[in-house]
Structure 1
Amino acid sequence: MAITAQDVNKLRQMTGAGMMDCKKALTEAEGDFDKAVELLRKKGQKVSASRADRETSEGVVFAKTNDAGTEGALIAFTCETDFVAKNDEFIQLGNQIAEAAFAEKPANAEALNALSLGDLTVGEKIVELTGKIGEKLEVKAFEILTGEAVVPYIHMNGKLGVLVALKNANGADVEEAGKDVAMQIAAMNPVAVDKDGVDPAIVEKEIEIGKDQARQEGKPEEIIEKIALGKLNKFYKENTLLSQAFVKDNKQSIAQYLDSVSKGLTVSEFKRVSIG
């Protein structure tokens, strides 16, 4: 059957795909719009597969929190180029995925991709947009956080996001303090809230590094352990959030800063997601 310009334009309006892609799909589907849409989706799957080994080092981090400020979600939706990261459809889909993740709190990436976004799943929507845009797209990371008070922060380049959960959050300036701490996490990338949260494997590695350094410096074997533990304490001070010097006032630690805002105010947990 003859495919008219009006048919092509209609399919283009339905799918957002290119004019020639729509014409080819309609011709192959013999004018059946549903089949043509399915063919375009299959094209998206082919594009997605052919670009599976591409790096997605650009994109946008999205943050969602509830009105009560007790729950939050972070999504890193990534692509290949900065140009696509600014695309309206890309941003719209990223927001939809973040909303779905926040509402459903999936346990892993597979469950996230299976979430419903209208008539398609998250994974199918990504494949569909891949077909239209022609770049590999993926949710590279996502985090869910709950707490007494959850404060979000997105860095100005849109490629780094933080959620921080505060405990004993009773003061009037708590949200502002949460923003300050979230910015600290963005800038300094701590490994844990405090030393108790540091992975034992990291602790063991730091002790071994400390011992090796001491031996290379010719220190006596009987004090090697003590020196290594001293270096470990320095590691904790520089790399755990509450012990770090506050970037806005390095005369006090984050723990001291929070306590000065509201007695007993502290951080229970944080999540940090970045792209690139």
Structure 2
Amino acid sequence: MSIQISAQSVKELRNKTGAGMMDCKKALQASDGNIPIAIENLRKKGLASADKKMSRITTEGIIESYIHAGAKIGVLIELNCETDFVARRVEFQKLSRDIAMQIAACPSVSYINTNDIPKHVIDSETKIELGKEDVSEKPIDIQEKIVNGRIEKRFKEMALLDQPFIRNTDITIEELIKTHISLLGENIQVRRFQKFILGEGIEKKQDNLKNEVSSMIEQSSESR
């Protein structure tokens, strides 16, 4: 016999997961009202459902912008889905804003996933790790294990989909997207993004105080 689930519990679970009301009620009944277990079950169900949809073509979507407080950092992101109907959904638009904010908050993120990291970056990072003193002194087989572990960690820091979601660090951005795929019934893909940091790439003038003072002394001497 199913236990009675209050409307408040259903609402709480829906707010935490974004799942449908009936799915939340069923999950709570199956977990005897235990919300953490219900969340875990819904997450597993959502990820499994999302995996089946991830090969679908996404040609619709939106371009979202985010400007961080102080107007020093900005992000543009293209988030794709399958239909214009879903692109206009509040849930999809909120997802795009959350991901744009995530990119602004993660200084190391430069790629969508680790597969996008180019070979020259992989080679460069590997060379740097191999050259570190605490690695170079180890036997060759140990060096390989240490470097592989560090490189894997470093590349995850550079990949958007591997980042813990800033609003809920229990899930990654990849899991957040898959949850929305399950919720909205369509494939969702981050196609591209660009981060803008004020002044980035501009060579700032570095005043050399010593040279400036010397020059002033010379000019003073010549004018006498």
The answer to whether residue 124 in structure 2 is matched with residue 121 in structure 1 is no
Match of 1:60, as an amino acid? I
Q: Is the 8 A contact 1:101 1:112 kept in 2?
A: yes
Match of 2:162, as an amino acid? A
> What is the TM-score normalised by the length of structure 1?
0.48
Match of 1:2, as an amino acid? I
Greater relative CO, 1 or 2 (CA 8 Å, sep 6+) = 2
Aligned to 1:60: 62
Counting only pairs closer than 5 Å after superposition, residues 1-276 of structure 1 correspond to structure 2 as 1-6=2-7, 7-65=9-67, 71-105=73-107, 106-110=109-113, 111-115=159-163, 116-119=165-168, 120-146=171-197, 148=199
Q: Is the 8 A contact 1:41 1:127 kept in 2?
A: no
Change (3 A) 1:11 1:70: closer
The structure that is strand-richer by fraction is: 1
SS in 2 for 1:109: coil
The structure that is helix-richer by fraction is: 2
> What is the TM-score normalised by the length of structure 2?
0.58
- Give the Cα separation in 2 of the matches to 1:118 and 1:166: 33
Change (3 A) 1:144 1:10: closer
- Give the superposition deviation at 1:68: 6.7
Aligned to 1:246: none
- Give the Cα separation in 1 of the matches to 2:23 and 2:56: 23
- Give the superposition deviation at 1:65: 4.0
Match of 1:48, as an amino acid? A
SS in 2 for 1:72: strand
- Give the superposition deviation at 1:78: 1.4
- Give the superposition deviation at 1:108: 1.2
Pairwise CA RMSD of aligned residues? 2.7
Unaligned segments of structure 1, at least 5 residues: 150-164, 168-276
Change (3 A) 1:68 1:27: closer
- Give the superposition deviation at 1:101: 0.7
- Give the superposition deviation at 1:147: 5.9
Identity %: 34
SS in 1 for 2:50: helix
- Give the Cα separation in 2 of the matches to 1:5 and 1:147: 50
- Give the Cα separation in 2 of the matches to 1:30 and 1:72: 45
Change (3 A) 1:104 1:13: closer
